[in-house]
């Protein structure tokens, strides 16, 4: 009886152990699949030097042409203080060309990073270096902080927006005070008892009277506008003057020739 119980316990432990191993193998397999790796496939190494890696970590993805091609294997500081050496493990061989670019890119505002590789234009000459150089990364949060600080300085410094608004407000207040006190041409126009305002009102009244007389047909202008007979007579006189001028032009050469001919005798 005791032997049967021991055998049963061993069987259960073996089954559980096999299950755990299968789970671990499955996780390992899916990890490789998600990373784009294939068992037994060759791996390629690549080294890149950056001045600043902006929080890049081991096992972060390496992206080329929009797809993962490897991961970050290790990072180490340069002993001479010249940057960071980043070692990559790639599952595809990349053909780097003149004009290549390698950058660290933020994947989210929460701090995710990956390394992106642009191989260069296909028509450029291919290069093979022991170590490639990456570009200085752009930190979105740092850039946003710099922008906010620049805007704040622009608002608060001596020549900033707030200072200009204060100056403009003071000038508008001064202009309003001058108008209320009747100073300047516009201030005089706005005064209730000023002579300039009265003269302007009188001028407007005179213009209204002249316009009313013209509408009634009074005066020469009124007759020209209201009486068609006078308008026709003026048009007829203009035509007669124009005809007389035309006749004079036609007879002028004959008169000149006659005067020259008889003047010779």
Q: What is the pLDDT of residues 75-112, one digit of tens each?
A: 999 888 889 999 999 998 999 999 999 999 988 767 78
Specify the pLDDT at position 264: 44
Mean pLDDT of the 47-73 span: 93
The number of C-alpha atoms within 13 Å of 234 and in the hemisphere containing its C-beta is 10
Specify the pLDDT at position 10: 67
pLDDT at residue 174 tops 80: no
- Which of 152-161, 210-219, 251-260 is predicted most confidently? 210-219
163 against 24, higher pLDDT: 24
pLDDT at residue 167 tops 90: no
Specify the pLDDT at position 218: 72
Specify the pLDDT at position 126: 95
Specify the pLDDT at position 210: 77
Specify the pLDDT at position 262: 45
pLDDT at residue 50 tops 90: yes
The mean-pLDDT minimum among 28-32, 134-138, 183-187 falls in 28-32
Q: Where are the domains of the chain?
A: 1-34, 44-138, 143-180, 192-251
pLDDT at residue 265 tops 80: no
The mean-pLDDT minimum among 34-43, 195-204, 253-262 falls in 253-262
- Mean pLDDT value across the chain: 76
- Which of 20-29, 100-109, 207-216, 226-235 is predicted most confidently? 100-109
The mean-pLDDT minimum among 56-65, 204-213, 244-253 falls in 244-253
């Amino acid at each position: 009886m005791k032997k049967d119980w021991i055998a049963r316990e061993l069987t259960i432990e073996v089954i559980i152990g096999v299950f755990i191993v299968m789970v671990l193998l499955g996780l390992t397999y899916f990890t490789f699949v998600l990373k784009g790796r294939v068992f037994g496939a060759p791996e390629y190494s690549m080294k890149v030097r950056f001045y600043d890696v902006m929080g890049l970590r081991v096992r972060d993805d390496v992206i080329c042409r929009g797809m993962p091609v490897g991961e970050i294997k290790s990072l180490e500081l340069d002993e001479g203080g010249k940057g960071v050496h980043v070692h990559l493990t790639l599952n595809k061989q990349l053909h780097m060309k003149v004009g290549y670019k390698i950058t660290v890119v933020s994947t989210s505002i929460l701090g995710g990073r990956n390394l992106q590789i642009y191989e260069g234009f296909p028509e450029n000459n291919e290069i093979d270096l022991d170590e490639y150089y990456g570009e200085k990364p752009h930190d979105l949060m740092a850039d946003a902080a710099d922008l906010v600080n620049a805007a704040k300085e622009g608002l608060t410094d001596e020549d900033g927006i707030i200072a200009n608004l204060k100056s403009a407000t003071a000038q508008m207040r001064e202009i309003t005070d001058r108008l209320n006190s009747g100073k300047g041409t516009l201030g005089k126009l706005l005064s209730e008892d000023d002579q300039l305002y009265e003269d302007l009102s009188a001028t407007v009244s005179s213009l209204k009277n002249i316009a009313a007389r013209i509408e009634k047909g009074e005066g020469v202008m009124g007759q020209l506008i209201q009486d068609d007979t006078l308008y026709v007579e003026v048009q007829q006189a203009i035509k007669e003057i124009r005809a007389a001028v035309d006749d004079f032009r036609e007879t002028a050469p004959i008169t000149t020739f006659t005067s020259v001919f008889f003047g010779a005798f």
